[in-house]
Chain A
């Protein structure tokens, strides 16, 4: 499998680490135990297209949101995480 890193270009699977479902959003401070429990433990296990978190540890150390078909391994989109890369300096 090969992933096109937005910073480094097309790279081989071995440079990346998989984390899993990118959908859960960390609850805001003050969230209930149930909300945090759902965030920590409940995951969709999709047979098909899903967004996943991948880490380019063998390259630029960016976290990426990879849209992958779990049945075919086809990757249809790769986006950097919101905080990936250097922070934009305000103009």
Chain B
């Protein structure tokens, strides 16, 4: 049974009464209309209590009608889509909406933890630092869990977010934040000049305060002007209007961040639609027309449900046709607050009284009071009699000392307006104080940005239109456009007279920051304890550190600090403003980069074929590489890998090695260039030959290795490791462009252009003969070890063939254009069938390279020199090369360096593990006798036991020594023997044969 909308006004408002929506709040059913927010629908249903406060569990109602709301936070939706701390004031109502109040147990009406109020003395400012100091071990076990249960906001869903988020770029001449009168006037001026305009509005309809406050523009009612203006803007092809989009950040170079709530007004995103979209907007100019936020006055009981900002009360009455109270009072220190009285009277609501803190009020308002039949009390509100069911009675301290009481069920409060200075201050800008409006206004802005209208301290409607139009026109001019047609929209400026009032002394808690439960006395306490600086005040009391970032509380907080320290407000200063202006879901920053799409995935040319073969894949960087190819009946990976190794060593196998970085080096000075980047010499390499190369960093440490072949006098083909492919390209470009610009050499990355396969094993030549054109001579004389040249394949495809071996077997690597990669794998399988060809993965590749003592990533660890790797003799003494001088430093050539050796457990049945430390036998392991560690291990089918490579102090002098392999991670110590790192075919006869 849906309850009747008891507080819905009979007429008016911008809600669609023909579109009723049902919704549930804390399990109860209600109804509202399209065009409502959750907050306005609750107001229309007479709901005042919407949540419990953070520390004290005080009953709280709705304070505002916008994104500055501190109190009306709910858990919106359920299940995986449950979103905590959602502002009811900006959550659009949809049919079937489900929301729950937060921070209460067992129910909102009866909340056990509200006893916290009785213990209020221990929850004062700095209580974290004072109360739970001793004993220390109680903190994690008792205090923190208890505090977390007692104090807090909503609960996260705790399950994966089912929605998608998008990221997009936009570019424009003029970006405008806000669609109130200022923003619309700016858009008109800029749009008429032909500029590309992007107008962002966080609300779901355009118009800003015009929607609530009305007025007369160009002689017509505001609603009519609004409708005509939107028609004109929509008709302009280069004006783009984005609603439900909040500009939240300003970055260098005219880049802005905005969050678009694409589907948050729907029960769930439509199929193939995202929930939110994160925009990065590049704008030549930006006009901030973000308006101003009305600020509260702090008094005892100011957090009672039914106490509401005056402008918000107007919005509920005028825009949503929902009455926040039947009989309202107004507490104001300025002229603007009176507009709420006019709105209430216009809607037929009772006005109980106006409490005006100013000495003088205007004759117009005096006559309004007498016509409306309500008293005007000169003084301040000093207390509220009420509770979870709202305001009942208001205590007033009259100027002169007398007291009065006002019976009302709602109190509108206006303490003046604070321009929204966030966006203009995000580059560490500090706003400046203006005495005439008693508010901070922007003092400059990041390059290309300007504030206009209320965001700049110009509060009158006429002034907003003038400033907005001028700012829009200037922005378009600055972006290279001429003057547009048309003139500034004209409206009167309302009177703005304000007597600053921040805090009314009284008995009971008076809240400054309602979301973090910071009271006026907390600020006074912070001052007494020496936390006077605003930055200290903020951190000691947590003022302004809640999800609303103190939008309604910061200025009042520092004004109270100014009073107690006897300083002026500008002397007290403000804290630093930081984005985001509104909370932005982490999911929106992640966009589609989650789960398997966290990063791009690179597939080898033979990937799809390998999938058909049932390969198990391993992620290496962005690549998916076949790790091994399990066969039916094999009980584990080790059995598969051992079979693959034996098949290669006994017959023939092949492996996709396309992931290697591949670079074509062209030019007359290509050889000279390679001489400078490698430790060994390439300029003397014969055409048609390949050579292993090692490059250092400039500090003398090994950077990368790989094989480079000379395909023509002025053309080398260079390969890098898979891991360093991109970085080596960047390094070589640096060498070419910055270090050696005099050399005639060009680099072309061809990693993705060539599919490359290693074909290895004694039957390699038999298999290749089936693939390569019969005219090509593959004999040992015609194509010797380390030969490299282009060949024709059967069918005519040109390939690059290299007689190089990582496995230690007779082997070739063959490159074909990437589009033939998959066909190559299939053809190798067909042609190799008579020879028992076996595809092998990266594990078997690794086993064979360890058996041969070849170094790889674990040994090229960024700490090893060429000599450490046993490759010191490769360092040419006849030429300069990157890293040469630094590699000669004393410590890098010391005799006791850890160098690569082989290692195997003495007990042949024992498994060797990477990471085990090498300790002299018989010594107690410790840092002082830690002489190295095991870098790479495998089970070697050839040696028939676990073997490995290790970096060991003076290792080459210690071949045959038995050491202790100390593995504290796995809790074991065992004897291992240091040996030659080449376990297999040490004289290399097999690869040359």
Query: Residues of A with Cβ closer than 8 Å to B?
Result: 1-2, 12-13, 17, 19, 26, 29-31, 33, 36-37, 39-41, 53, 55, 57, 61-63, 73-75, 80-84, 86-87
Contact = CB atoms under 8 A, between A and B. Distances in A.
A37 to B, nearest CB: 7
B62 to A, nearest CB: 41
Interface stretch (B252-260, B268-276, B403-411): B252-260
Contacts, number: 75
Interface stretch (B603-611, B863-871, B882-890): B882-890
A84 to B, nearest CB: 5
Contacts of B879: 29
B886 A82 contact: no
B730 A17 contact: yes
Contacts of B736: 83
Nearest to A14: B280
A1 B744 contact: no
20 contacts: A1-B251, A1-B252, A12-B255, A13-B253, A30-B880, A31-B885, A33-B886, A39-B698, A53-B734, A53-B738, A55-B733, A63-B737, A63-B738, A81-B741, A82-B737, A82-B738, A83-B736, A83-B737, A83-B742, A87-B744
Given A26-B698, A57-B726, A82-B741, 7 more contacts: A13-B252, A17-B730, A19-B734, A36-B885, A36-B886, A83-B737, A83-B742
A61 B733 contact: yes
A33 B739 contact: no
B253 A1 contact: yes
B766 interface: no
B738 A87 contact: no
Contacts of A33: 885-886, 888-889
Given A2-B255, A83-B741, A40 B886 contact: yes
Contacts of B251: 1
A15 B774 CA distance: 47
A86 B730 CA distance: 16
B575 interface: no
Contacts of A12: 255, 280, 282
A17 B741 CA distance: 20
Contacts of A13: 252-253
Nearest to B738: A81
A2 B282 contact: yes
A63 to B, nearest CB: 4
The 7 A-B pairs at the shortest CB distance, nearest first, are namely: A83-B741, A29-B880, A2-B253, A82-B741, A83-B737, A81-B737, A36-B885
Given A19-B734, A87-B746, A40 B699 contact: yes
A60 B880 CA distance: 29
B127 interface: no
B249 to A, nearest CB: 13
B740 interface: yes
A61 B736 CA distance: 11
A26 B889 CA distance: 18
A74 B448 CA distance: 13
Contacts of B729: 61
Nearest to A29: B880
A51 to B, nearest CB: 12
Contacts of B885: 31, 33, 36
Interface in B35-92: none
A2 B254 CA distance: 8
A55 B889 contact: no
B255 A1 contact: yes
Interface residues of B, number: 33
A39 B282 CA distance: 38
Contacts of B737: 62-63, 80-84
Contacts of A39: 698
Given A81-B738, A83-B737, A83-B741, A37 B886 contact: yes
Interface of B: 251-255, 280, 282, 447, 667, 698-699, 726, 729-730, 733-734, 736-744, 746, 749, 879-880, 885-886, 888-889
Contact of B746 (A31, A53, A86): A86
Nearest to B253: A2
B643 to A, nearest CB: 41
Contacts of B252: 1-2, 13, 73
A39 B886 CA distance: 11
B703 to A, nearest CB: 13
A49 B121 CA distance: 53
A53 to B, nearest CB: 7
A83 B738 contact: yes
Contacts of A2: 252-255, 282
Contacts of B746: 86-87
B734 A63 contact: yes
A62 B667 CA distance: 18
A75 B253 CA distance: 9
A2 B255 CA distance: 8
Contacts of B738: 53, 63, 81-83
Contacts of B743: 83
B125 to A, nearest CB: 35
Contacts of A87: 667, 744, 746
A11 to B, nearest CB: 10
A12 to B, nearest CB: 8
Contacts of A30: 880
Contacts of A36: 698, 885-886
Contacts of A17: 730
A31 B880 CA distance: 10
Contacts of A73: 252-253
User: For B734, B737, B889, which residue has the most chain A Cβ atoms within 10 angstroms?
Assistant: B737
B253 A40 contact: no
Contacts of B742: 83
Contacts of B739: 26
Contacts of A81: 737-738, 741
A75 B252 CA distance: 10
B746 to A, nearest CB: 7
Nearest to B747: A61
A37 B749 CA distance: 32
A12 B282 CA distance: 9
Nearest to B698: A40
A10 to B, nearest CB: 8
Given A36-B885, A82-B738, A83-B737, A57 B730 contact: yes
A18 to B, nearest CB: 12
A14 to B, nearest CB: 10
Contacts of B698: 26, 36, 39-40
B895 to A, nearest CB: 19
Contacts of B880: 29-30
A2 B738 CA distance: 22
A55 B734 contact: yes
Contacts of B730: 17, 55, 57, 61
B448 to A, nearest CB: 12
A30 B881 CA distance: 11
B351 to A, nearest CB: 53
B440 to A, nearest CB: 23
Contacts of B282: 2, 12
Contacts of B253: 1-2, 13, 73, 75
A2 B280 CA distance: 12
Contacts of B888: 33
A54 to B, nearest CB: 11
A1 B886 CA distance: 36
A84 B889 CA distance: 33
A89 B111 CA distance: 83
B635 to A, nearest CB: 45
A87 B670 CA distance: 14
Contacts of A41: 699
A12 B885 CA distance: 38
A52 B734 CA distance: 13
Contacts of A83: 736-738, 740-743
A53 B733 CA distance: 12
Nearest to A3: B253
A86 B737 CA distance: 10
A56 B40 CA distance: 52
